[in-house]
């Protein structure tokens, strides 16, 4: 679980046989996956869960069914999104598109930065200011060049 002091304190106080009541599902979990994990943890500890707005109550067989249907639909949706993303990336690659962020430096500025660095007449800070990048970015370019 992500660090949420209020939620952590709540989980310390809850005991078997208790029921956690929330106004809406989105008040408990940051994502559907997170919500499912939290409710599963409650269930393992023998703690019920009720959401007033969505009328879900895991202390009843019908409420458990509704929640598990939500869980299955969420997993199905995640799988579809992953599949579409993968297919889209493959199609883009087939069209010659490279993914990722555009390079910060143009090829000319990159060559200039590398040349100045290897000549050792300017400091790294001066080179960075001249070509308009930060030190870490310049070092990334140098590292990339080293492995070519």
CA-based nearest residue to 4, from 36, 32, 38, 45: 38
**Per the confidence metrics, is the pTM higher than 0.95?**
no
Residue 116 pLDDT: 92
Average pLDDT of the residues of the chain? 87
What are the tens digits of pLDDT across the range 27-55?
A: 787 777 888 889 999 999 999 999 898 88
- Token pair listed for 74: 């969420």
Residue 143 pLDDT: 85
What are the tens digits of pLDDT across the range 90-117?
A: 999 999 888 877 777 888 998 899 899 9
What are the tens digits of pLDDT across the range 124-140?
A: 999 999 999 999 989 98
CA-based nearest residue to 46, from 20, 77, 74: 20
């Amino acid at each position: 679980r992500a660090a949420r002091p209020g939620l952590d304190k709540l989980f310390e106080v809850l005991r078997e046989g208790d029921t956690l009541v929330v106004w809406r599902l989105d008040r408990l979990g940051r994502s559907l996956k997170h919500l499912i994990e939290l409710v599963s943890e409650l269930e393992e500890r023998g703690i019920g869960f009720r959401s007033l707005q969505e009328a879900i109550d895991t202390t009843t067989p019908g409420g458990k069914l509704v929640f598990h249907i939500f869980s299955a639909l969420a997993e199905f949706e995640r799988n579809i999104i992953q599949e579409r993303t993968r297919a889209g990336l493959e199609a883009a690659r087939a069209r010659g598109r490279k993914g990722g962020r555009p390079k910060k430096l143009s090829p000319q500025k990159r060559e200039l930065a590398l040349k100045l660095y290897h000549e050792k007449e300017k400091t790294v800070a001066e080179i960075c200011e001249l070509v308009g990048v930060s030190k870490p970015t310049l070092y990334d370019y140098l590292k990339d060049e080293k492995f070519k």
